[in-house]
Each structure stands twice: as structure tokens, then as C-alpha cells.
Structure 1
Amino acid sequence: MTRTVFEKPDVIPLITEVFRELGYEGASMSKITSRTGLSKGSLYHFFPGGKDEMAAEILAHIDQWFVRHLFEPLEQNEARAAIDHMWQEVDAYFQSGQRICLIGAFALDETRDRFAAAIRQYFVRWIEAFSAALVRAGLSREAADVISEETIAGIQGGLVLSRALHDEAFFGRMLANLSQRVSTALSASRSVE
């Protein structure tokens, strides 16, 4: 039975979950239609460019969420509050490690070459936004850059291990450890001042 969808924004979350589950290569048009309940005609109506257009729009949709909920707050809000907010948003978005980072997953296979600019920009902006907040909170640029890179790598690795170990609590522990490292670094920078 096909599903009635009236707007493109209604379709993107449905297709996103198919890509999360099957990856880019595994998400054939027939699997997308069967798993979403959308007809091929509906899919091509919303995405005339087919699967590449779907993936590009999904990446843009994810990026917009991160810009609104993480990157802009890290760049513009009071630094410590923005950093605390980041931990909460990351945990909620990735459903405590049960939802993969689709952009990260795309970075791991040949899909990366198709969407290299979008994938790179997502990670670069996150690292730079977090680093900027750390600098405003009192770290040197060099220390902030190192901690930011290690933190984003830790989040991505935590997602992989949480799923690989089938341990729903792992991601929460990883975020708590990363948060503690950041807090310790910020406290140490204050005591030096």
C-alpha cells in the first residue's frame, strides 16, 4: 500500500531512515519504495534526479539541523552554555548512540567521493564551531583545535562502538567522558590565568 505524502519535507525523514539502515549503495529505489510506502512516481516527483538527489537533499537537511542546533549556538551563544547544549543535542539527535551519523557513514565508502564537499563541510564546521566556543571559554587556539578534533572523532567513534557492541549505554558513557575532558581542560585554563 502506498503512502500519501503531500510535501517534500514529509518525505525526507522517511528516506533518511532507509539510507541510515541500508547505506547509499544498499538503498535501491525498490527498497526505498517498499520501506517508505512511497511509490516510485512520488519519489521521482520529489526527486527527479533520483537517488543522488535524494542523498544530496538528505545531507543538506541533516546539515541544516546541525547548523541550527549545534553550529550556530557554538559560534554565537555564551561559550559554556553552548558547549553544555552541544552534549545534550548530540545525545538526543543520535538517540543515545542508536542512530548512526549518516554523514559519517557516507564518509566511509565510495559515497564520500559523490558528496565530498558536503561531507567535508559538515565536519569542518563542527570542528571549527566547537573550537571557537572553546577559545571563547578560555582555551588557547592550539589547545581548542586539538580538543575539538578529538571530541568530534570521539563522538563518531562512540557511535560506531555503541552499535558494534550493541551497548546502548556506551554512547552515553563516551559523551560523559568527553564532556569531563573538556571541563577539565577549561578548568585548567582558568587556573593558569
Structure 2
Amino acid sequence: MRPQKIMDKEMLNGLSKVFKSKGYEAASLNELAQITGLKKASLYHRFPKGKQGMAAAVLLDIEKWVTQNIFDVLNGDEEGLPEVRLKKALSSIEKLYDGGSEPCIFRAFSMQSALNLFEKNINDGMTSWVNAFTSIGIALQQSPDTARELALEVIIEIQGSLIVTKCMNDTTIFKNALIKIEKKYLAT
């Protein structure tokens, strides 16, 4: 078997970049092929379901990274004090969104027909985010109701700050949101 010219991780990062910047509907096969360095036929060979298969692979790749670097940390699957785990997870969130300069992949898949295709993935993903932040809240001695309420606020703050950061072209908005989130958890 001959070696692949394009490594899978590089290919998924490229596909992700196009979907995040263009959205699912507007991402053309030409752009997806160009960013990966593959011809359309090669993309279809790797992704027989076409653009939908590419998007599903991107979602799965991001989900794996987020689970390992954020959810597992917040849920206590990793050793350490909850305060330390919170800080580590927030650092990973900053990395995931490149300091606020990268939009959330859910945004790209939550509009138009893409929502019909990926609604379950998005719903499951958001639920996992809320559950993980609820878990860290409970670990920090919050009541389950308070922890869930704060978790929902945190997800809204993360997503909202990403939008405002993009609109105002100011990554300090996102970075400050993460600092505020840390303070909210550690002040309780």
C-alpha cells in the first residue's frame, strides 16, 4: 500500500477550517479539495457520503479532542483538584478556539439544511458541554441545580463571546470571558 500524501489529521484540520469559515452550505467541494490538496475523486474515495461524510468526520475528530482535553478533565476522569482541572479545561478551551479567533464548529453546522443533518450531534455536543461544566460545579461544592444553572450560563458566555469576538475582531473579549468563567466557579 502506498503512503497517503495527506495525513488524516492535516486533512481534517483543513476541512474544519473551510467549514468553520464558510459554513456547511457554502463550503464547496472545490474549496474542500483545494485545502486538503486532494482531487475531488480522492475526497469521494475517502468520504463516500461526500460533503456530509467530511463534515461528520470533522465533528467526530473535534468531539474526540474535546472529550479528552475538556470533558474528561472537567468530569474528574483525570486526577487533581477541581480548581486545577477547571483551569486546565479553560486553557484547552482557549486552545480549541485559538484564543477566540476560531469560531465554534457547531455554528457552521447549525444553519440551514446542515441543522437537519447534524442536529443530534449538536444537541449531544451541547449537552456534553453542560454536563461537564455541571460536574465541575458539583466538584467545587455547588448544589446540582446551581451547578447546572452556571453551566448553562458558561456555555452561553463561551458561544456569545466567540460571536462578539469575531464581530469586533478583538480576541480579548473571548479571553476575558474565560477569566470571568474561572472567577465565577472559584468564587463560589
Decide: shared fold, TM above 0.5. yes
Regions of 4+ moved over 6 Å:
none
Among 172, 181, 184, the residue aligned to 1:181: 184
Among 86, 97, 101, the residue aligned to 1:83: 86
Does residue 66 (structure 1) correspond to residue 66 (structure 2)? The answer is: yes
Query: SS where residue 75 of structure 2 aligns?
Result: helix
Q: 1:111: which partner in 2?
A: 114
Kept after mapping to 2: 8 A contact 1:104/1:156: no
Does residue 97 (structure 1) correspond to residue 100 (structure 2)? The answer is: yes
Unaligned runs of 5+ in 1: 187-193
Distance in 2 between residues matched to 1:7 and 1:44, nearest whole Å: 16
Distance in 2 between residues matched to 1:72 and 1:157, nearest whole Å: 24
Q: How far apart are 1:6 and its partner, in Å?
A: 4.5
Among 155, 175, 179, the residue aligned to 1:172: 175
Kept after mapping to 1: 8 A contact 2:94/2:100: yes
AA of the residue aligned to 2:65: W
Query: SS where residue 58 of structure 2 aligns?
Result: helix
Q: State the identity as a percent.
A: 26
AA of the residue aligned to 2:59: L
Q: Give the number of the structure whose residues are more often helix, by fraction.
A: 1
**Structure-to-structure mapping, 1:84-163, within 5 angstroms:** 84-163=87-166
Distance in 2 between residues matched to 1:158 and 1:56, nearest whole Å: 25
**TM-score normalized with structure 1 length:** 0.88
**Structure-to-structure mapping, 1:46-57, within 5 angstroms:** 46-57=46-57
Q: 2:41: which partner in 1?
A: 41
Q: 1:189: which partner in 2?
A: none
Q: How far apart are 1:133 and its partner, in Å?
A: 1.4
Q: How far apart are 1:7 and its partner, in Å?
A: 4.3
Q: How far apart are 1:54 and its partner, in Å?
A: 0.4
